[in-house]
Amino acid sequence: MPAHSSHLLHPLDVGCFGPLKKAYGRQIEDKMRRGNTHITKEDFFPAFRDAFTQALTIKNIQGGFRGAELVPLSAESVLSKLDVKLHTPTPPGSLPTTPPAWTSQTPNNPTEASSQSELIKRRISRHQNSSPTSIIEAVEHLSKGARGFMHQIALLRSEVQILREENNLLSRRRRAKKTRLRQGGSLTLAEAEDIQSQREATTQIEEETRRSSGRRVRTETGQRRCGACGNTGHNARTCQFTEEMSEE
């Protein structure tokens, strides 16, 4: 099958994929009108299933085969739609090393916009009493690309503004929660449970710290010393130093 010809030769492309795309688009537009701006897997599969059921019908499938001239078969009609050009393959060693010349089209990035601008300048410099149609078309392409960039920038700015407003709202809610706590205000059940859990965890840590510290103090202060010699491990009644002194 020749390249870029599936829309003419493939039955599904001819009769089914177009309606499927439109049906799925309607499903997504309906979700967006309801305020859903993010499509998850759970949203995609039901929407695609409904679109698939609407698009891949017996009527559309049969129409695809008729549109592709397969049923009834009409090879001449199919070949008449194709722009087949025979050419000799270029040997590998003679492939051009320079990029192809830029043709007038709508630019999609800064590099293509510069190429389109240079093309317009060259055509203006060569223009001498000839029709300005090609120059006008080139300018239209450049203008169309610029408008597309402006629309994208406007959408990005809108998204950034929405994100900033959401972040500011979250910050205000957090500050309001802290203010209510300081002023003795009321909290929701979830907020109160979170605060209580944090307090219990803090109390438990402090209690364990006090217990370990108390055991360490009692261990250090519980060692008694002998009143006669000052050493640990015995008292004055069993002190060997006292016995030696009495014997002398």
Task: Report the distance separating Cα 16 and Cα 59, nearest Å.
Answer: 10
Is residue 234 domain-resident? no
Is residue 161 domain-resident? yes
Is residue 11 domain-resident? no
Is residue 167 domain-resident? yes
Task: Report the distance separating Cα 144 and Cα 105, nearest Å.
Answer: 9
Residue 162 has phi, psi (to 5 degrees) of -65, -45
Query: By CB neighbour count within 10 A (0-12 exposed, 13-18 middle, 19+ buried), where does 142 fall?
Result: buried
Q: How many domains does the chain have?
A: 1
Read off the pTM.
0.32
pLDDT beneath 70: ranges in the chain:
1-4, 7, 81-99, 128-130, 177-188, 191-192, 195, 212-223, 228, 236, 241-248
Cβ count near 115 (within 10 Å): 18
Predicted local distance difference test score (pLDDT) of residue 246: 53
Is residue 164 domain-resident? yes
DSSP secondary structure of 9-61 = H-HHHHHTHHHHHHHHHHHHHHHHHTT-----HHHHHHHHHHHHHHHS-HHHH
Is residue 207 domain-resident? no
Which residues are within 8 A (CB) of 225 and not within 5 positions of it... i.e. 6 or more apart?
Answer: 231, 232
Is residue 115 domain-resident? yes
Task: Report the distance separating Cα 7 and Cα 226, nearest Å.
Answer: 106
Q: What is the pLDDT of residues 37-59, one digit of tens each?
A: 788 888 889 889 999 999 889 99
Predicted local distance difference test score (pLDDT) of residue 95: 56
Is residue 156 domain-resident? yes
Residue 152: domain span: 104-126+133-183
